[in-house]
Amino acid sequence: MPAPMDAVLFDLGRVLLDWDPRYYYGRFFLSDEALEHFVQHVIAHDWYLEMDAGKPADQAIAERSRRFPEHAALIARWKEGWPVMLRGTIAGTVDILEELRRRGLRLYALTNFSNETWPLVKARFECLSWFEDVIVSGEHGIVKPDPRIFELAISRCRLDPAKTAFIDDVAANVEAGRACGLHAVHFTSSEKLRADLKELQLL
């Protein structure tokens, strides 16, 4: 019989923290279609992942503005708008985190986050202090789904992958975690996460 799991490794953005660029940029567009084009193609995931990997925001903004000069004024608002993009926590996931904490599980986080914005976020949300450690991509210059950041988390947090659940909302990250031996769970809602963790006998 396999040993019971004793640790949970959380992603943060869109799992525990309600972050979405639309919360800020939506005010600048008259149609959902125009907003979606801007979010998907201009301030796209691959762009802000560069900041999550440690690129300074000012440099990333300047480079993106040169690529999309017609949107330069909006791209330049990224830093001032960032706090609005982070609306708060996802209540259902915070409840789950608290339950896991009460059960004595070892709790860690592995997040793609800019090292410029992380200190602001860490100070804003008390629930982030419940983690024994948080691996922040921007501090290491490596982002998920690169296996090296999983290896770093496993080593630094002294995790046994066979006894660790990993939760992430991005399918590629889930697959990368699974390839490293973690019990990877694809987050789509707090309700589904609760069911998945019950199946793993963590709740």
CATH number at residue 136: 3.40.50.1000
> Mind listing the pLDDT tens digit for each residue in 76-112?
999 999 999 999 999 999 999 999 999 999 999 999 9
- Whether residue 148 sits in one domain with residue 181: yes
- Whether residue 193 sits in one domain with residue 97: yes
- Kindly state the average pLDDT of the residues 24-31: 98
- Whether residue 189 sits in one domain with residue 95: yes
The model's pTM is 0.96
Q: Is residue 50 part of a domain?
A: yes
- Whether residue 157 sits in one domain with residue 79: no
- Kindly state the average pLDDT of the residues 170-194: 98
**Residue 67 is part of which domain span?**
20-86
**Amino acid code (one letter) for 44:** A
- Whether residue 114 sits in one domain with residue 73: no
> Mind listing the pLDDT tens digit for each residue in 8-21?
999 999 999 999 99
- Whether residue 178 sits in one domain with residue 97: yes
- CA distance between the termini of the chain: 19
Q: Is residue 117 part of a domain?
A: yes
Q: Angle of helix 57-67 relative to helix 45-52, nearest 10 degrees? A: 160
Domain total in the chain: 2
Q: Is residue 1 part of a domain?
A: no
**Amino acid code (one letter) for 106:** R
